[in-house]
Amino acid sequence: TSDHLRHVDSMGTLPSGTGKISYLNAVILGDSLASEENDLVLPSPEFSSQALIPSSDKYIEMYRRSIVDPAGFWSEIASLFYWKQKWSDQVYSENMDVRKGPINIEWFKGGITNVCFNALDRNVQAGLGAKTAIYWEGNEPGQDGSLTYTDLLERVCQLANYLKDIGVGKGDAVVIYLPMLMELPIAMLACARIAAVHSVVFAGFSAESLAQRITDCKPKAVITCNAVCRGSKVIHLKDIVDTALVESAKNGVSVDVCLTYENQSAMKRETTNWMEGRDAWWQDTVPKFPTTCDVEWVDAEDPLFLLYTSGSTGKPKGVLHTTGGFMVYTATTFKYAFDYKLSDIYWCTADCGWITGHSYVTYGPLLNGATVIVFEGAPNYPDPGRCWDIVDKYKVTLFYTAPTLVRSLMREGNEYVTRYSRKSLRVLGSVGEPINPSAWRWFFNVVGDSRCPISDTWWQTETGGFMITPLPGAWPLKPGSATFPFFGVQPVIVDDKGTELEGECSGYLCVKSSWPGAFRTLYGDHERYETTYFKPFPGYYFSGDGCSRDKDGYHWLTGRVDDVINVSGHRIGSAEVESALVSHPQCAEAAVVGVEHEVKGQAIYAFVTLVEGVPYSEELRKSLVATVRNQIGAFAAPDNIHWAPGLPKTRSGKIMRRILRKIASRQLDELGDTSTLADPSVVDQLIALRDC
């Protein structure tokens, strides 16, 4: 702790004496354009003066308290929620050191609560019943709807009653495979209400991926809809579920109920494939149930949900989050990182199929009584101005998105942005991958009219909520930096040997000691949890990311250091893509790496060795890509298939991805030492085939 406080103290000296102070003055005087030369962007005094955390001093004071006295700090915050019974005197207990026994993290243990109650009933009781909880915007402009907090509570209760009626109870898993309809957060909250464990699967995943997740968590029911329109495409989700359920049944997991929402604008029920006895229409069954439903009170450490995410090896991991800590952490991070006020209108463009949609579409905002926008469509449909059309339509004040969207809209030119007012915007947010400074500046200058601070939030499925993030109003921003740790978070940067680095440094990003939102295990595989996250650097949680810290203490994330590829903010394991490719009958071997991509951040680049005697062809290339689409989902499709007569391997047979990355990114003069390869000539063969 004392080491860390030294670091905190040095943060307090920023930014005076850095020579950039004149720029800060310039900003205060109104010249607030963030340009290439100026690398500090200060929030305006008007913004800071009304902000929840109005200064770096205030941040430091609170941060210090959160590190010196985590129990006291988090108890005070947790007390703002409703607890049927308070947690035990020990606010948290943890072992994050594999050398000292099994990894174990608990927060508010013994406390009895319910997240759905806190998000809905508590807010209704506090007088927010008539406030809009959700504005829904459909794929087509003009298609919309909304629910107040009272409406939402009633809808959630009806579904909760239905689920209980079909036999779903505490601890049972429910798989949700829905697009961004209001029914998606409704389904999540209904599960939370009755202590069922939801497992939302992003509706862009293939039948095979869905089947894999169903097989792993053995749900009592699957909730889906018949179809969805995304842009100009119609996707038949129910058919995908049908296929997945056949597949999971082969693995011995049969699901009794498939509750299907009729998404009329995309598909009528008459044309939907149906299995009598198993399938039920949401609209025919759920509305018959009462609009009140008793809450299932649970321990803070009872599971809330599972969410599968990709690792560098093997099958997807079921990240498990529990109730109390996740509730307190997502609500608190949401409030401070977006400087949330009751009058805000908040839009996060993420899908609830990813963690961002769990923590920052559904739980964090609703726990704060916020008004949230749920958008079904695609951000560039019918044209690249759609986002700003939505911002103006609902008077969005807080807009949270991913760098990939910023970059893709940036390419379409400023007119699509400037034809809309956007004057409601107050704070912008970014998540999913490092945001490059030029995209940051465009987001700041053009979208936010140089007026709105950007919260570049670094976190992960595993962390539950923001870990390193600006608090708008508190700090000067640096374009591309996620800045400083959230309260209670102790990031450390370590070297290869796991030694903590001090001051200006660069290395592996780890976290010392736990925070309430941390995941507690990988479902059914605590050993993999320990091996992946706690064994690499004993004593710490290892994030899998590289990071550097500059002289002012700002953190700069540099991307994954493992074999995880980040495509448009979606995490894809190279091993998963490889196993999809080798399942193709004509593929003998595959090695997949990420390469830089202007819009997507990274793109998937696959080296493929064909079965002896099979000739290269364009058709085969397409069929390999289709295999990946079918097995994982369209978002994981490789951008490049590079024919490989052989792969660079060490004598022990390990593929040297370092070399493949260089070949893929055409950095041939940086291949490095190839002498340890079993057969160095494969490198020349690969180079010769690079544009074939």
Note whether 544 binds ligand WT7 by CB under 6 A: yes
* Helix, strand, coil % in the chain, rounded to nearest 5: 35, 25, 40
Neighbouring residues of 161: CB distance < 8 A, sequence distance ≥ 6: 289, 290, 293
368 binds ligand WT7 (CB under 6 A): no
432 binds ligand WT7 (CB under 6 A): yes
Q: Which of 106, 121, 344, 456 binds ligand WT7 (CB under 6 A)?
A: 456
C-beta of 604 vs 677, nearer to ligand WT7: 604
- Choosing from 560, 600, 657, 662, the residue that interacts with ligand WT7 (CB under 6 A) is 560
Peptide bond into 303 cis (omega under 30): no
DSSP 385: T
Query: HSE of 7 in the Cβ direction (CA atoms, 13 Å)?
Result: 25
Helices and strands (H, E) in the chain, number of each type = 24, 30
Number of residues forming the site for ligand WT7 (CB under 6 A):
23
Span near ligand WT7 by CB under 6 A; candidates 16-24, 69-77, 558-566, 654-662? 558-566
Active-site residue, 562 included:
yes
User: Regarding beta strands 505-512 and 521-522, do their DSSP bridges make them parallel or antiparallel, or are they unpaired?
Assistant: unpaired
| CB of 549 or CB of 584, closer to ligand WT7 | 549
Q: Omega of the bond prior to 382 within 30 degrees of 0, cis? A: yes
Part of the chain binding ligand WT7 (CB under 6 A), chosen from 88-96, 453-461, 601-609, 666-674: 453-461
Options 163, 184, 298, 431; binder of ligand WT7; rule CB under 6 A: 431
What's the distance, Cα to Cα, between the start and end of the chain in Å?
A: 56
Options 70-78, 126-134, 155-163, 559-567: segment touching ligand WT7 (CB under 6 A): 559-567
**Which residue number is nearest to ligand WT7 in terms of Cβ?**
461
Closer by beta carbon to ligand WT7, 385 or else 429: 429
- Indicate which single residue of 566, 602, 609, 631 sits in contact with ligand WT7 (rule: CB under 6 A): 566
Contacts with ligand WT7 in 250-279 (CB under 6 A)? none
CA 554 and chain centroid, separation: 22
**Beta-carbon count within 10 A of 45 CB:** 12
Would you count residue 581 as binding ligand WT7 (CB under 6 A)? no
Task: Confirm if 588 and 620 have CB atoms less than 8 A apart.
Answer: no
> For residue 321, is it left (φ>0), alpha (ψ between -120 and 50) or beta?
beta
**Binding positions for ligand WT7, 123-182, rule CB under 6 A:** none
Q: DSSP for 9-24, please give it.
A: HHHTT-STTSS-HHHH
Q: What is the smallest separation between the CB atom of 264 and ligand WT7, expressed in angstroms? A: 32
CB proximity list for 77: less than 8 A, separation 6 or greater: 328, 332
396 is a contact residue toward ligand WT7 (CB under 6 A): no
CA 233/CA 239 separation, integer angstroms: 15
555 binds ligand WT7 (CB under 6 A): no
Window of 138-146, 386-394, 454-462, 657-665 that interacts with ligand WT7 by CB under 6 A = 454-462
Q: How far apart are CA 55 and CA 526, in angstroms?
A: 41
Catalytic one among 552, 562, 563, 684?
Answer: 562
Residues 332-361 that bind ligand WT7 (CB under 6 A): 355-356
Task: Point out the residues that are catalytic.
Answer: 562
Question: Which residues of this chain interact with ligand WT7, rule CB under 6 A?
Answer: 309, 355-356, 431-434, 456-461, 482, 543-545, 557, 559-560, 566, 569, 571
